[in-house]
Chain A
Amino acid sequence: MDTHKHGWPPCCKDATLLAEKRLQEKLSFRERFGLGLHLLYCKYCRRFMKQGRIIAAATEQLLQHDESLTLDAQVKAEWELIISQKIDL
């Protein structure tokens, strides 16, 4: 967003970035209006935002229930052994 000229209404790149920024902080009136205008005439960016919400919800589901984030019991048993050996030294 920093290297190319910012036109108005925003191009697709800037519009999708504004949509991201909007999730974190309040946009200025100019930004808000520009984004709204862009979305009126750009079906690709509308799709990008709609699909983005689907992906975000699915990602949350997936990561919250990710079994690969569970430690093997065997690893834990090894660690307990190592620790107790070190203590008993």
Chain B
Amino acid sequence: MSETTVNGTLSPREWVNRYADDFFRFAMARVSDRIIAQDLVQDTFLSALQSADQFRGHSSERNWLLAILKNKIIDHYRKEGKVVSLGRLEEEDAFFDEKGHWRKEAAPQPWPAPGEQNEFYRILRACIRKLNGLGQAVINLKYLEEKKSEEICKELSISPSNYWVLMHRARLHLRSCLEKNWLK
């Protein structure tokens, strides 16, 4: 492949090789859908090509591309109406009654020693996919990207208490989904 550089510092012919895998993971952690994540990364490369003359070299090529990808992801959230609407957090509570006690059917049951590990992982994966968009985002950012809670709050524009509530809901859903499907 020839050494084509645009504007002296960008090397678009190397982009796929250098950044595609990282960027795809980055997008997957935030949108949890292969096709959408692929589209976002592809769009990023194409937009970057079109606006290559705006690259001033103030940031590295990677950071410049990543900034474009982040904007694409935010646009995607906007279009989907997913701009962190926390209204849904006060959804009817399937886990606790009005006094804040465990509902009988939701109270954690004892788990046996894990037998078939693969089965456990398979069900866990399915349960993660069943979380709502924001729930998946916090779980992915924490466990896939190992981000600190402050970084997660900043990225999703939520307050620390929103974060605990989201994480708490995600854990409640995951635990109950596992118990229902794994212990059958």
Q: What is A's interface to B at a CB cutoff of 8 Å?
A: 1-4, 7, 10-14, 16-17, 20-21, 23-25, 44-45, 47-48, 51-52, 54-56, 58-64, 66, 68-71, 75-76, 79-80, 82-84, 86-87
Contacts and interface: CB of A to CB of B under 8 A. Distances in A.
B125 A69 contact: no
Given A62-B124, A87-B49, A11 B96 contact: yes
B175 interface: yes
B143 A48 contact: no
Interface of B: 1, 4, 6, 12-13, 15-17, 20-21, 24-25, 28, 34, 38, 41-42, 45-46, 49, 90, 93, 95-96, 98-102, 107-111, 114, 120-121, 124-125, 128, 139-140, 143-144, 149, 160-161, 163-165, 167-168, 171-172, 174-175, 178
A84 B11 CA distance: 11
Given A20-B171, A55-B178, A83-B13, A12 B102 contact: yes
B75 to A, nearest CB: 20
Contacts, number: 130
Contacts of A47: 108-111
A11 B12 contact: no
Given A58-B121, A76-B16, 15 more contacts: A10-B100, A16-B172, A17-B165, A44-B107, A48-B175, A55-B175, A55-B178, A59-B124, A59-B174, A63-B139, A69-B24, A71-B38, A75-B38, A82-B46, A86-B49
Contact of B12 (A7, A17, A45, A87): A87
A11 to B, nearest CB: 3
Contacts of B140: 63
A58 B160 contact: no
A55 B124 contact: yes
Nearest to A25: B160
